[in-house]
Chains A and B, each alone.
Chain A
Amino acid sequence: MIPLWMYLLVAAAMFCIGVYGVLSRRNAVAILMSVELMLSAVNINLIAFWRYTAPSDMAGQVFTSFVFVIAAAEAAVGLAIIISIYRSRRSVAVEDVNLLKG
């Protein structure tokens, strides 16, 4: 069997790649894609812990389902905001959304 730390390491690597994508990309849709990567990494983490420590209890899979729900809701609203910003600013680079900048 594969030890648990290998699953957790893959999930941690995916999460850190997502963190790098969120912090360094200029395009807002690319930032949203990196956030989806982070959420998927969290899901892998949750299911790995569920399988290895408490596989007869359903809490791990229920938690993962709620993370799916939240990711879907956040992707829909985030993309609606990005489209609405694009309509008024004609650009989706996040450094162009600077009306509140001093």
Chain B
Amino acid sequence: MLELNATTLAFFVFAILSLGGALGVVTSSNLIHGALYLILSLFGGAGFFVLLSAPFMAAVQVLVYIGAIAILIIFAVMLTRSMTRMTEVYNRQWWLSALVGTLLLLMLALGVIFPVWGEGGMLPNQPVSNEVATTEALGVAFVSGDQFVLPFEISSLLLTGAMIGAIVLARDTEAS
């Protein structure tokens, strides 16, 4: 079913990175370790983007997710150290959360593996075509009047609002 070539090997390497990092995030008691596992998992995700012919998305994932969001999370971990280190990792309903997560995974796996949608009821095993749109087409799509310029401008408003909100929420209010 799967021939042994570099693409398959890379897929499994990135899958192990992503899922191993994700498991490390949810099971680590030290939050800095958890943030580093998150960075590992996001690198695996960036590798998937490269495999799926979306190199710009891979670069944006590394720059924005790892370079900005994960670093911000590490800052927040360092700023919110509690006095006692003896707190537990999970709350009292962790077994229920594990059950819900497993049931959701089973449901999603059934929906993904068995033919419930797609043409003829099967998901494509091969890409439909190998003519992949380039990054230039992505740039044109963002600013072209009949494509996606309106959500693009609204997202810049969202980022401005989020930046102002974060500054107002986290600023020091004891300044005299």
Chain A residues near B (Cβ < 8 Å): 1-10, 12-21, 23-27, 29-30, 32-34, 36-37, 40-41, 43-44, 47-48, 50-58, 61-62, 64-66, 68-77, 79-84, 86, 90-93, 95
Contact = CB atoms under 8 A, between A and B. Distances in A.
A13 B90 contact: no
Contact of A93 (B34, B87, B97): B87
Contacts of B23: 17
Contact of B104 (A19, A37, A55, A83): A19
Give 4 nearest A-B pairs by CB, closest first: A23-B97, A21-B26, A73-B162, A20-B101
Given A64-B57, A69-B155, A10 B108 contact: no
B170 A83 contact: yes
A77 B162 contact: yes
Contact of A9 (B52, B112, B159): B112
B145 interface: no
A75 B72 contact: yes
A4 B72 contact: no
Contact of B54 (A4, A23, A50): A50
Pick the most buried of B7, B69, B77, B105: most chain A CB atoms within 10 A of its CB.
Answer: B69
A33 B97 contact: no
A40 B7 contact: no
A15 B88 CA distance: 23
A51 B52 contact: yes
A29 B91 contact: no
